[in-house]
């Protein structure tokens, strides 16, 4: 598939007519050799090689195709920022668009990994300056040789992939949903059932994190804590702070440090905190309100934290806010204590939700029903709503395609990383609760690593108890 220069691209860069011969020749000459020959492999290259070997062992004799994906149009001729498929990154470390990893089956049942990538822009045909997405427009790309050094595997021109796939015989599995061109080339050679099995295996491979991934998640949590500190410093104690200012403050910290955010930040103040996925962020955090901030930094290698703190905007909880906060904290403590190797995945959810039910019963919100009855019927869920956590990693909701028997019905193992995030949410229009509770939403969320002996809170750099939160906010505000 040869790159072509469309008429719309020519109009965009002001070249409505073909460049004259003299200009075309002028643009070809006088460019320095910028090939980088001192590149070292990416830090995760040894880990990606091991992961590919594990995948190879699952599918001997089969051709395996894992695309990174293509840019997605945002509006007309502008695209969303490109984010590659997590499975492609997991197996290569590569983050460039239009790339495809192919595991070629060998006679002995193993595989030879090849990355098909976009090469440097061609200076002979003028693509580097005539194409709206050439290097003079979008920036320099790595050469295939440079990518071989970085990724630690052979790299070929992506434009040769269609021919290779056309020649392919035997069983093939494809990660669908990321590259329409690849899917079209393999339309008659793959089946939805086999490809779904492939997607499930890829998801399950990521359930247990290796040392590189754990280090990245730990760093993501540390970077996230710095963003939360910045937010505390901008919260007004005498006047409202726009939720958009809170969102922008956290994002700016992530970007200044060369990172990004792993999902749309929830900057929910006052009654907005009772909406679990409040991302409009068009309200105000007023003194006396609670701010529920659910935000996570995504590292340069695309691993994301997922942390929530509920903060008193003016630095002090009111008595009723503290009552609700302490109940959620107690639930989180119970949930975190249940995270350990050999425990059922659902154990931490049940432990946390049981504590929340106990508090709701004690507050008289469910009449004379017992805690056992309330929990069995799920009546507490009117005010707790969601599950208590999920796996995290390259995706904020990681390993989503894993089979239930290995994930939600499975057993915790060392190296798994999950969130523990109980919450209580009393809607502003809920007439079944006392007026003083209406409009209060509290969630506390941390990222927990399962260790050989128990667990480690990767986001422990942020305070959790009500007293510690107040002291922390006072210290940051000077």
Q: Is the same domain home to 194 and 342?
A: no
Q: Is the same domain home to 159 and 283?
A: no
Helix, strand, or coil here: 267? strand
| Separation between Cα atoms, residue 189 and residue 414, nearest integer Å | 39
Q: Is the same domain home to 446 and 329?
A: yes
Q: Is the same domain home to 185 and 250?
A: no
When divided into structural domains, the chain yields a total of: 2
Q: How far apart are the first and last CA of the chain?
A: 60
Angle (CA) 439-444-445 rounded to 5° is 135
Q: What is the pLDDT of residues 96-134, one digit of tens each?
A: 999 999 999 999 999 999 999 999 998 888 999 998 889
Q: Is the same domain home to 201 and 216?
A: no
pLDDT on residue 403:
98
pLDDT on residue 478:
85
pLDDT on residue 2:
38
- 317 close to 325: Cβ distance less than 8 angstroms: yes
Last residue of a domain, one of 185, 205, 225: 205
Give the pair of three-digit tokens for residue 289. 């309100």
- Tens place of pLDDT per residue across the chain (478 aa): 334 455 555 555 544 446 788 999 999 999 999 999 999 999 999 999 999 999 999 999 999 999 999 999 999 989 999 999 999 999 999 999 999 999 999 999 999 999 999 999 988 889 999 988 899 999 999 999 999 999 999 999 999 999 999 999 999 999 999 999 999 999 999 999 999 999 999 999 999 999 999 999 999 999 999 999 999 999 999 999 999 999 999 999 999 999 999 999 999 999 999 999 999 999 999 999 999 999 999 999 999 999 999 999 999 999 999 999 999 999 999 999 999 999 999 999 999 999 999 999 999 999 999 999 999 999 999 999 999 999 999 999 999 999 999 999 999 999 999 999 999 999 999 999 999 999 999 999 999 999 999 999 999 999 999 999 999 999 999 8
Domain with 181, as residue range(s), is 7-205
Give the pair of three-digit tokens for residue 409. 């019905």
Q: Other CB atoms closer than 10 Å to residue 52's CB: what's the count?
A: 21
Q: Is the same domain home to 196 and 266?
A: no
254: nearest Cα among 215, 302, 213, 310: 302
pLDDT on residue 17:
47
294: nearest Cα among 316, 312, 269: 269
Q: Is the same domain home to 52 and 182?
A: yes
Helices 211-234 and 243-256: angle between axes, nearest 10 degrees = 140
Q: Is the same domain home to 266 and 169?
A: no
Q: What is the pLDDT of residues 416-466, one digit of tens each?
A: 999 999 999 999 999 999 999 999 999 999 999 999 999 999 999 999 999
pLDDT on residue 9:
52
| Separation between Cα atoms, residue 141 and residue 144, nearest integer Å | 9
Q: In sequence order, what DSSP letters do the residues of 11-57 get, joined into one string?
A: HHTT--SPPPHHHHHHHHS---------PPPPTTHHHHHHHHHHHHH
pLDDT on residue 124:
87
Q: Is the same domain home to 90 and 110?
A: yes
Q: Is the same domain home to 171 and 308?
A: no
CATH of the domain at 287: 3.90.230.10
The pTM of this model reads 0.95
């Amino acid at each position: 598939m040869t790159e072509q220069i469309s008429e719309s691209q020519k109009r965009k860069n002001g070249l409505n007519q073909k460049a004259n011969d003299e200009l075309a020749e002028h643009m070809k000459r006088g460019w320095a050799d910028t090939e980088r020959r001192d590149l070292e492999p990416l830090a995760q290259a040894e880990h990606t090689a091991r992961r590919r070997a594990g995948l190879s062992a699952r599918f001997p004799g089969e051709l395996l195709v894992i695309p990174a994906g293509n840019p997605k149009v945002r509006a007309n001729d502008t695209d969303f920022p490109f984010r590659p498929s997590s499975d492609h990154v997991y197996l290569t470390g590569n983050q460039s668009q239009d790339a495809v990893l192919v595991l070629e089956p060998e006679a002995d049942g193993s595989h030879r990994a090849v990355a098909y990538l976009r090469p440097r822009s061609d200076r002979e045909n003028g693509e580097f300056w005539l194409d709206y997405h050439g290097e003079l427009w979008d920036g320099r790309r790595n050469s295939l040789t440079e990518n071989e050094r970085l990724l630690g595997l052979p790299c070929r021109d992506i434009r040769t992939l269609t021919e290779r796939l056309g020649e392919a015989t035997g069983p093939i599995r494809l990660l669908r949903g990321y590259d329409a061109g690849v899917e079209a080339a393999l339309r008659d050679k793959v089946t939805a059932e086999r490809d779904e099995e492939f997607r499930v295996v890829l998801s399950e491979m990521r359930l247990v994190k290796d040392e590189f991934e754990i280090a990245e998640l730990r760093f993501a949590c540390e970077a996230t804590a710095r963003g939360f500190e910045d937010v505390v410093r901008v919260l007004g104690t005498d006047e409202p702070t726009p939720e958009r200012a809170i969102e922008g403050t956290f994002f700016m910290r992530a970007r200044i440090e060369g990172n990004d955010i792993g999902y749309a930040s929830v900057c929910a103040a006052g009654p907005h905190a009772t909406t679990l996925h409040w991302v409009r962020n068009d309200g105000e955090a007023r003194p006396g309100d609670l701010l529920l901030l659910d935000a996570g930094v995504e590292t340069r290698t695309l691993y994301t934290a997922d942390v929530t703190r509920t903060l008193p905007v003016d630095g002090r909880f009111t008595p009723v806010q503290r009552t609700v906060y302490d109940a959620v904290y107690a639930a989180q403590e119970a949930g975190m204590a249940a995270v350990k190797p050999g425990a059922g995945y659902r154990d931490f959810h049940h432990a946390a939700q049981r504590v929340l039910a106990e508090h709701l019963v004690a507050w008289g919100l469910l009449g004379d029903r017992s805690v056992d009855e309330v929990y069995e019927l799920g009546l507490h869920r009117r005010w707790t709503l969601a599950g208590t956590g999920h796996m995290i990693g390259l995706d904020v909701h990681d390993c989503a395609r894993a089979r239930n028997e290995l994930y939600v019905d499975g057993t915790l193992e060392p190296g798994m990383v999950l969130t523990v995030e109980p919450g209580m949410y009393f809607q502003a229009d809920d007439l079944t609760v006392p007026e003083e509770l209406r409009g209060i939403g509290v969630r506390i969320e941390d990222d927990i690593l399962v260790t050989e002996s128990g667990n480690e809170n990767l986001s422990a750099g942020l305070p959790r108890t009500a007293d510690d939160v107040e002291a922390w906010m006072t210290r940051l505000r000077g």
